[in-house]
A and B are shown apart, each in its own frame.
Chain A
């Protein structure tokens, strides 16, 4: 692929690029003529939308940890377990690997995601070159890739409640935290998607010495 000029951006060339199919159009074009997506050189409300979804995610994440994720009804006595409680239970069953997977997917990933998105959104506004764009870009990629996997716990509860239904002996029901946890994961996915990665590179627009 031929380099047209050293690091000329589409915006600097008076063009607007489509983020879906890479085709470029004269600045001011509204929709991409190839794939039909809406065009904008930079989405200016990007950071606003990032923070809005981020807040929604945090708000939903709090009840997700406080209320029971799953209720086990065994011979008439009900046992409710939260997300953390479920991990502890797995450790007590000596299922260390699975405990680690659940702990990682439903506690580490969501928390790390909140911090990572906030860090990117703050770092974008810092003066040029204070944080390397490549680093921010890498973090954003990881967040987008791994964020979906937090949904594991919601699916686990769904499968268990479908499977363990032995009428009076033992049955498992989903708890209200499953709903708020699923919502939290969805909101943070939207938050990460709302970030326009081109803003990351705009923030560090200066000659690189590599």
Chain B
């Protein structure tokens, strides 16, 4: 196998433009980009897997707080209303718009949580130096594919806009869930920034 053409196992191709390269892992602080289209191919960072696992676990812990506690409290002329994230999700359930309610629940709660769980499943054994658990590759592929559909950070910007809209009507105060969810959105972004998908694929391949 190795004496014929260059062994395909040593080659990688840019996912954006199909340019072919002989794989040579970049150094700890280096980044390998495609010479043709500029796509960043590999950007390994020392200890990245450990950081990713820590961020994912922290985000999961905060997610449980975000679900249970009041999110926003509104005061207007002596009337008080409180809403949790679950309330916001189920607000579409009235008026025959249940499908949208379900879609929002999936986008802001289910997918972010599922992606975190999948990532923990993939990285936990790697951090402790063991072999990847069965199905880790499927889990990681799912985690990557679901990325554009996980919209926790967009929801937080939506909250900011909503607050401006009701600022005249009432005074708003933040509940613990608000801060927890804001932190979750930040941790999710940090986690995605640290993860180098393709480096992790090479690690998963070797283990």
Whether the Cβ atoms of A162 and B87 lie closer than 8 Å is: yes
Whether the Cβ atoms of A10 and B15 lie closer than 8 Å is: no
* Segment with Cβ contacts to A, from B59-67, B74-82, B112-120, B186-194: B74-82
Which residues of B have CB within 8 Å of A66? none
Q: Is the CB of A118 closer than 8 A to any CB of chain B?
A: no
Interface residues of B (CB under 8 A from A): 6, 8-9, 11-24, 26, 32, 35-38, 41-42, 72, 74, 76-77, 79, 81, 83, 87-92, 94-95, 97, 99-100, 103-104, 107-108, 137-138, 140-141, 144, 148-149, 151, 154-155, 157-162, 164-170, 197-198, 201-202, 204-205
CA distance A12 to B141 in the complex (A): 27
Q: Which of A1, A144, A186, A193 contacts B21 (CB 8 A)?
A: A1
Interface residues of A (CB under 8 A from B): 1-5, 7-13, 15, 17-26, 34-37, 41, 86, 89-90, 93, 95, 98, 101-102, 133-134, 137, 144, 148-149, 151-156, 158-166, 169-170, 173-174, 176, 178-179, 182, 186, 189, 193, 197-198, 200-202
Whether the Cβ atoms of B20 and A8 lie closer than 8 Å is: yes
Known contacts A174-B95, A174-B97; decide if A156 and B6 are in contact (CB<8 Å): no
Q: Which of B15, B41, B91, B160 contacts A174 (CB 8 A)?
A: B91
- Could you count the A-B residue pairs with CB atoms below 8 Å apart for me: how many are there? 233
CA distance A155 to B163 in the complex (A): 12
Which 8 interchain pairs have the tightest Cβ spacing? A155-B158, A17-B13, A21-B201, A201-B17, A10-B13, A161-B91, A162-B91, A159-B162
Whether the Cβ atoms of B89 and A19 lie closer than 8 Å is: no
Which residue of the partner chain A has the closest CB to B159?
Answer: A159
Whether the Cβ atoms of B81 and A165 lie closer than 8 Å is: yes
Which residues of B have CB within 8 Å of A1? 21-24, 26, 32, 41-42
Whether the Cβ atoms of A7 and B36 lie closer than 8 Å is: yes
Contact sample, A vs B, 18 pairs, CB 8 Å cutoff? A7-B35, A15-B11, A22-B198, A23-B8, A23-B201, A35-B141, A154-B104, A154-B158, A155-B162, A158-B92, A159-B162, A160-B162, A162-B91, A166-B81, A173-B94, A178-B92, A179-B100, A197-B15
Whether the Cβ atoms of B13 and A15 lie closer than 8 Å is: yes
